[in-house]
Amino acid sequence: MVLKLYGLPTSPCTTRVLACLHEKGLNYEFVPVNLLDGEQKKPAFLEKNNFDLIFSFTLQPFGKVPVLEDGDLTLFESRAITGYIAEKFNDTGFDLIRYGDYKEAALVRVWLEVEAQQYNPAIQPIVYQCIVMPRRGKPSDQKIIDESVEKLGKVLDVYEGRLEKSKYLAGDHFTLADLHHLSYTFNVMKTPYASLFTSRPYVKAWWEDISSRPAFVKVCENIK
Amino acid sequence: MVLKLYGLPTSPCTTRVLACLHEKGLNYEFVPVNLLDGEQKKPAFLEKNNFDLIFSFTLQPFGKVPVLEDGDLTLFESRAITGYIAEKFNDTGFDLIRYGDYKEAALVRVWLEVEAQQYNPAIQPIVYQCIVMPRRGKPSDQKIIDESVEKLGKVLDVYEGRLEKSKYLAGDHFTLADLHHLSYTFNVMKTPYASLFTSRPYVKAWWEDISSRPAFVKVCENIK
C-alpha cells in the first residue's frame, strides 16, 4: 500500500513531510489540495480527520494540510507524520532518529522540541507576513515582523553556540531535528531577513549543509 | 542512578514532567530552582544545558525549567523529557505511548502535536495573563486574554467532537497525549475561564477523568 500525502507543495508543513519522505527514499502518491479553493474544508477531505471541525483552526496560517494516509491509518500534524515515518520506516533510507542509541535519540527529541516550541513561533510570523500576506494581496504587519526577527535572533544565538560544538543540532549526525527546520528557513532565505542566518557563521554553515542535501534539493525543485 | 529533576513545582512545564514520573512510578530527586532569584541563569545551572545562552529565551513565560538528569545525560524541554521517560521506562508503570501497537502509537503522536501546536498556544497566554502577571504584581492584558479564550474555544470544539467518539484523545486509553494537557488546564480551572471546559460535556468528563488520576492528584498535593 503506497503512502498517500494530501498537501500543498508551497506549504512549509507539507514540505516538511516531503523532505522526510525523500530522505527515507519512500514511494508516495501526492494529492494536491487547493487551499485557496477551500478544498480542505469539503466533506470528503474532512472525513480523513475523522471529525468535522479540524479545519476551523485558524492558528496555522497555511491551514491544516498535510494529511498522510497509510492504508487505513490517517494522520495529521506534520511533525507527527514525520515522526511516524521516521520510526516505522527506520530500516529504510537515512536513520533520522538515531534508532538504537537511546542517548542520541534523546537529544533528537530535545532539539525537535526546541524547533517546535522556540524556533517555529519566532520564524512562522516572518514567513506569514513577508510571503503569505503579499501573495494574498494584503499588507504585511511590520511590527509583527520586527518582534519576530528579534525573537528569532535570540533563538539563533543559542543555535550558533550549539552548532559551534556539534555539526548538527542533536550531535554529529543529520537527524529529523535538523530536517524540521528546512521548510520555514527555506522561505525566510527569500526575504530581507536571510542575514539572520548568513551573519552567524556556524548557523550559516549548518544551513548550507542541510539545505544542499539531495533529498531537500529534489523537494525544492518540485516547489518551483 | 536516580533521575534528578530541576524545576519549579508551580511551573506547568515542571508539573508536566512530574505527572509523567508519577504515572510511571519512578523514583526521582527533585531539585527546586528559584526562578525569581534567577538561579536558573547561574553558571552551574547553565552548564547542564551544555551551552550558555539557553536561558536567554523569553519565549516561555515560566523560564527554561525543567531540566532532567539521567546519569550523564541532561535533557530539557518538558515534552522531550516526558517522551524520553515514557519510552525508556516503557516496561514500568502505565504504558503512556501504546508501545508495540504502531497504529495506536501514531495517534498518540498526532494528539501530542495537537497539544503542542494548537492547544498550548491558545491556553498558555490565558495562564500567563491571569495567574503569572498578577503574581508578579503586574496588570494582565484583557485583549490577549479575550483573543486566547476565543482561540481555545475553537480548539475545544474540536476536542469535544473527538471526545464524543473516543474516551481519550488518542483512543480508548489514557496516554501521554492526555497527560500533556494536565498542567495548563489545571491552572485555567482556577481562572474565570474554567467554563471553557465545564460547558462542553465531553471535554468536562475527560478533564474530570484525567485530573483525578492518583498520579496527578499526588503531584497537585505537592504544589500546594
Residue B142 maps to which CATH number? 1.20.1050.10
CB contact under 8 A, B110 and A56: no
In tens, the pLDDT along B173-214 reads: 999 999 999 999 999 999 999 999 999 999 999 999 999 999
- How many domains would you assign to chain B? 2
Does B38 reside within a domain?
Answer: yes
In tens, the pLDDT along B40-67 reads: 555 555 554 433 333 333 223 234 789 9
Instruction: Say which residue the cell 483552526 belongs to.
Output: A57
CB contact under 8 A, B112 and A80: yes
Nearest to A176 by CA among A214, A152, A210: A210
The pLDDT confidence band at residue B13, using thresholds 50, 70 and 90, is very high
Considering only CB atoms, which residues of chain B are within 8 Å of chain A?
50-54, 56-60, 73, 75-80, 83-84, 87-88, 102-103, 106-107, 109-110, 112-114, 116-118, 121-122, 151, 154-155, 157-158, 161-162, 165
Does B19 reside within a domain?
Answer: yes
Q: Which of A36, A60, A88 is the last residue of a domain?
A: A88
In tens, the pLDDT along A126-138 reads: 999 999 899 889 9
> Averaged over B68-86, what is the pLDDT?
94
In tens, the pLDDT along A195-219 reads: 999 999 999 999 999 999 999 999 9
- B107 and B209 assigned to the same domain: yes
Instruction: Give CA–CA dist B213/B200, Å, rounded.
Output: 20
- For residue A7, what is the domain's CATH number? 3.40.30.10
- A107 and A199 assigned to the same domain: yes
CB contact under 8 A, B118 and A57: yes
Search chain A and give the residue with CA nearest B110: A80
- Please tell me which of A98-102, B71-75, B87-91 the model is most confident about, judged by mean pLDDT: B87-91
In tens, the pLDDT along B140-171 reads: 999 999 999 999 999 999 999 899 999 999 99
Provide the CA A56 distance to its chain's centre, in angstroms: 21
- B120 and B38 assigned to the same domain: no
Pick among A1, A3, A51 to test the B interface (most B CBs inside 10 A): A51
What range does the domain containing A71 cover? 3-88
- B205 and B112 assigned to the same domain: yes
Sheet (strand B67-70) strand order: B28-32, B3-7, B67-70, B73-76
Collapsed DSSP state (helix, strand, coil) of residue B28: strand
Q: Which of B59, B88, B117 is the last residue of a domain?
A: B88
Instruction: Give CA–CA dist A66/A31, Å, rounded.
Output: 10
- B112 and B206 assigned to the same domain: yes
- A131 and A193 assigned to the same domain: yes
Does B63 reside within a domain?
Answer: yes
The pLDDT confidence band at residue B9, using thresholds 50, 70 and 90, is confident
- Mean pLDDT computed over every residue of chain B: 87
- Whether the per-residue pLDDT at A50 is higher than 80: the answer is no
- A106 and A83 assigned to the same domain: no
Give me the DSSP letters along A176-213: HHHHTTHHHHHHHTTSTTTHHHHTSHHHHHHHHHHHTS
In tens, the pLDDT along B98-117 reads: 988 889 999 999 999 999 99
